[in-house]
Structure 1
């Protein structure tokens, strides 16, 4: 029984190593294809986190020139990490504490217009009562 367990363990370990190797090769091929297909105008980010647009690509020497806010920088193909995609930004003023979007100003005006007059008068009276107790 011990020999069967050890043999099964070796087979499982070998399968896991083969699977990881296959995934690694696929990822390396994907990165190599990306770097080989870089064209001027593409926004990229380097492994040093420099963001810029591709100006020129020299496939013979595997060099790429990027423009980062007016500075031309030359990198080897291996220095380019990935294509840069600017992340979406949502201001804290646009969402509530749960991350749900706040109503637009137009919606807020409509909501305030729909408040019954009685509750507005009650709220105003409560505010006045609070203000009077603070004054004393």
Structure 2
């Protein structure tokens, strides 16, 4: 029983080590293949575009809103992809996207409400004047 537990624990340690080395290799490949123009995010959450890659000193220069900063390769966390943004005007109360037809119908209804209200207001004014 003890031998089985030692073998299982040893196998788990070997598997974790292999997985960790694979992830480390993938990160190194990503950092070495960075090209100018790629948007990245650093481990300090600085977002910017790659301007220059210096493989000799393992440094990278990024431009973040006009400020150029130099980082070590290890400081680059991953490629940055801007999250999708959906306005509240584009979805209904359940979060479902509105169709073009519903948008047009809603705009027509909104446009008619003040007109109908104005017409009723005029009738009231006429009634009061009589």
TM value normalised by structure 2: 0.75
> Partner of 2:124 in structure 1?
none
Structure 1 stretch displaced more, 57-66 or 86-95 = 86-95
Counterparts in 2 of 1:65 and 1:94: CA distance versus 1, 3 Å: same
Distance 2:88 2:102 in 1: 19
Distance 2:104 2:30 in 1: 50
Please state how far the C-alpha of 1:102 moved relative to its aligned partner: 2.3
> Partner of 1:128 in structure 2?
none
Please state how far the C-alpha of 1:8 moved relative to its aligned partner: 0.8
- 5+ long unaligned stretches in structure 2: 109-130
> Partner of 1:19 in structure 2?
15
1:30-58 alpha-carbon deviations (Å, 9 max, x no partner): 00000001111111000111110001011
Counterparts in 2 of 1:55 and 1:12: CA distance versus 1, 3 Å: same
> Partner of 2:51 in structure 1?
55
> Partner of 2:102 in structure 1?
107
Cα RMSD (Å): 2.0
> Partner of 1:79 in structure 2?
75
1:81-118 alpha-carbon deviations (Å, 9 max, x no partner): 101111111122322343211233x335469x9xxxxx
Distance 1:13 1:76 in 2: 36
